[in-house]
Amino acid sequence: MTELSPAERSELRARAHHLNPVVTVAGNGLTPAVLAEIERALQAHELIKVKVQGAEREQREALMQELCAAVDAAPVQHIGSILVVWRARREDDKSSAPAEKKPVRTSTAKSAAAFAAAARRAALAKASAESRRSPARAPAPRGRGAARGR
């Protein structure tokens, strides 16, 4: 289980304020399926809220300690039936393996007709952008009465 300093805990509580619970623990407690879902949520978000249903305060405290020990997370906050836990994102096993480089495709067109249509759209967009940049209007006259047409 990871320990947090009071400043880190305070910052994490502030970040967790707007979050919604992503996992609900009901009568069956911390089943392997619930632990797997918490593990996925921690990997994706680092900071999560867990809602506990039908447990007294002491049971929720014990559940939070058991949960944090099982997934190697740090307890952040326990308010009512909501538990907030944090764990730094772990590196994927896939990222440690050397990745094969795929050839880079320079064009996404599937046919000559699609390529020509994409080229026409690009030319029209460029022409439209250039016409918006060019000063087509003469400057407005200045002076008294110019606004009323005198």
CATH of the domain at 25: 3.30.110.60
Assign 64 to helix, strand or coil. Answer: helix
The whole model's pTM is what? 0.60
pLDDT band with cut points at 50, 70 and 90 for residue 111: confident
- Is 99 within the bounds of a domain? no
Closest Cα partner for 40 from 74, 71, 1, 82? 71
- If one compares 81 and 104, the residue with the highest pLDDT of the two is 81
Domain count, the chain: 1
pLDDT tens across 27-43, in order?
888 999 999 999 999 99
- If one compares 93 and 70, the residue with the highest pLDDT of the two is 70
Cβ atoms within 10 Å of 16's Cβ, excluding its own: 18
pLDDT tens across 76-103, in order?
999 999 999 999 988 865 555 555 555 5
- Is 116 within the bounds of a domain? no
Question: Which residue segment(s) compose the domain that 80 sits in?
Answer: 6-86
What does the pLDDT read at residue 50? Answer: 95
- Is 68 within the bounds of a domain? yes
